[in-house]
């Protein structure tokens, strides 16, 4: 989840 939240940013 944490990684997802981070990598949804460009």
Partner 1 sequence: MNVFRLAGDVSHLVAIIILLLKIWRSRSCAGISGKSQLLFALVFTTRYLDLFTVYISAYNTIMKVVFLALSYATVYLIYMRFRNTYDSENDSFRVEFLLVPVIGLSFLEHYAFTPMEVLWTFSIFLEAVAIMPQLFMITKTGEAESITTHYLFFLGLYRALYIANWVWRYHTEGFFDQIAVVSGVVQTIFYCDFFYLYVTKVVQGRSKMSLP
Where do contacts with partner 1 occur on this chain (CB under 8 A)?
3-10
With b for 16 or more beta-carbon neighbours within 10 A and e for fewer, the 1-10 pattern comes to eeeeeeeeee
Shortest reach from residue 6's CB to partner 1, in Å: 5
Shortest reach from residue 2's CB to partner 1, in Å: 8
Shortest reach from residue 1's CB to partner 1, in Å: 10
Length of the chain measured in residues: 10
């Amino acid at each position: 989840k944490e990684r997802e939240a981070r990598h949804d940013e460009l």
